[in-house]
C-alpha cells in the first residue's frame, strides 16, 4: 500500500477559533468540509488537541477561511503550539464577534458554528456543526493545503489527520 497517495486529496486551510476563559485560542485545520446543502459542516480533530477540549466545553466555535494572503506567521502562531502552553493570539490582529475571536488577517470568510453531533475514531473526533452565521472577509483566493505546502513550504503538526502519511 502506498499511503503517500493520501497526499493527493485536496483541502483548504482554516483557523478554528474560540475562547479559553478570557483569552482567545484555537488551531489550524485542513480537514473541514461541508456535509449537507442545509449548512451542516464537519471538522476532524485529534482528541489530544487543546482546541478539542474547548469545542467540547463550548459546543460553539468560529472558522476563519484562510486565503493566499494569510501571513505564514499567523499559521505558525496558531498551528504549531498548544493553547495549553501559549497565548496563541498574542501579536495577531483579531476582533471579537458574538463571543468568538476572528482573525482580521488574510481571510476569505467566516463561519459561526454550533456543534450538533460527533463521531469518534481511535484518535480523532469528527465534530458536526450547523452554520449559524457566515460572512465575507476581504480576501479573494482561498488558501489550499497544496498551496500552503508547495508555495509557503508549510508542514503539518503531529496531530493533524494528514500528518505522516
With CA atoms as reference, report the closest residue to 95 among 113, 80, 110: 110
Cβ proximity to its own copies: between 39 and 71 the closer is: 39
∠47-150-43 over CA atoms, to 5°?
A: 25
Least separation in angstroms between CB 53 and its own copies = 18
Q: Which is nearer to its own copies, 32 or 94 (CB)?
A: 32
State in angstroms the smallest separation of the CB of 15 from its own copies.
Answer: 13
Helix (H) or strand (E) holding 55: helix 50-58
Give least dist CB 43 to its own copies, A: 10
- CB 93 to its own copies: min, Å: 20
DSSP 97-148: ETTEEEE-SSEEEEEEEEEEEEEE-SSEEEEEEEEEEEEE-S--SBPBHHHH
CB nearer to its own copies: give 96 or 136: 136
Nearer to its own copies, 20 or 148 (CB): 148
- Cross-strand pairs, 115: 129
Residues contributing to the site for its own copies (CB under 8 A): 1-3, 5-6, 8-13, 31-42, 44, 65, 108-111, 117, 119, 121-124, 126, 128, 131-136, 142-146, 160-165
Amino acid at each position: 500500500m502506498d499511503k503517500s497517495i493520501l497526499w493527493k486529496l485536496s483541502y483548504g486551510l482554516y483557523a478554528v477559533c474560540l475562547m479559553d476563559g478570557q483569552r482567545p485560542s484555537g488551531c489550524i485545520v485542513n480537514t473541514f468540509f461541508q456535509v449537507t446543502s442545509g449548512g451542516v459542516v464537519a471538522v476532524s480533530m485529534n482528541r489530544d488537541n487543546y482546541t478539542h477540549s474547548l469545542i467540547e466545553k463550548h459546543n460553539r466555535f468560529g472558522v476563519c477561511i484562510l486565503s493566499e494572503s494569510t501571513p505564514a506567521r499567523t499559521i505558525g502562531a496558531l498551528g504549531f503550539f498548544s493553547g495549553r502552553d501559549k497565548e496563541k493570539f498574542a501579536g495577531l490582529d483579531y476582533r471579537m464577534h458574538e463571543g468568538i475571536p476572528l482573525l482580521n488577517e488574510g481571510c476569505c470568510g467566516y463561519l459561526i458554528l454550533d456543534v450538533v453531533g460527533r463521531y469518534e475514531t481511535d484518535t480523532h473526533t469528527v465534530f458536526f456543526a450547523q452554520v449559524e452565521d457566515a460572512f465575507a472577509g476581504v480576501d479573494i483566493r482561498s488558501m489550499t493545503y497544496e498551496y500552503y505546502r508547495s508555495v509557503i513550504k508549510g508542514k503539518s503538526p503531529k496531530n493533524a489527520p494528514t500528518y505522516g502519511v
